[in-house]
Amino acid sequence: MKKIIIRKQDVEEIIAYAKEKLPNEACGLAAGREAGDVRTLEKIYYLTNTDASREHFSMDPKEQLQAVKDMRANGLIPLGNWHSHPETPSRPSEEDKRLAYDPRASYLILSLMEEVPVLKSFHVENGEASEEILEIQE
């Protein structure tokens, strides 16, 4: 099982961005470094949800390319993506599982359905999702 380490400041920024995009889902990419089963997220990218939907998302392809170029320029590797669920729990929907094409990626999902937002990370392979350990550091 992978352990994902993310800074508290990044979590707060993801929450603020996702709330700003309500009622639609917000989305982006996550990059950093990997050592064995530990992934340290060092940069979060905020991308446009071109679907402008509260139930699904598609990332802007030009913004994705720019993010990957930025990762390379900064010596980071792509570790996964994130998106918000404005009205549902922090777990992959059937559509999320169906569209999870990269078994190496971590899929972070932020639920905004309760007063206190919940962020979790998942590994998805062959349509099956398992929760990863998510450690939030100061």
Yes or no: say if 41 and 6 are a contact pair by the CB < 8 Å rule: yes
Q: What are phi and psi of 88, to 5 degrees?
A: -130, 165
Report the pLDDT value the prediction gives residue 130, as an integer from 0 to 100.
96
Question: What percent of the chain has a predicted confidence (pLDDT) above 70?
Answer: 100
Instruction: Answer yes or no: is pLDDT of 35 > 90.
Output: yes
What mean pLDDT is reported for the chain?
96
What is the C-alpha separation between 83 and 26, in angstroms, rounded?
Answer: 5
Verdict on whether the full-model pTM lies above 0.75: yes
What is the C-alpha separation between 19 and 121, in angstroms, rounded?
Answer: 19
Strand partners of residue 108: 82, 121
Instruction: Answer yes or no: is pLDDT of 9 > 90.
Output: yes
In terms of Cβ atoms closer than 10 Å to its own Cβ (0-12, 13-18, 19+), residue 85 is buried
Report the pLDDT value the prediction gives residue 1, as an integer from 0 to 100.
81
Tens digit of each residue's pLDDT (9 = 90 or more) over 39-79: 999 999 999 999 999 999 999 999 999 999 999 999 999 99
State how far the alpha carbon of 59 is from the alpha carbons of 2, 39, 45, 77, in Å: 25, 22, 11, 18
Report the pLDDT value the prediction gives residue 90, as an integer from 0 to 100.
97
Tens digit of each residue's pLDDT (9 = 90 or more) over 90-99: 999 999 999 8
* Six-digit token string for 31: 């990059």
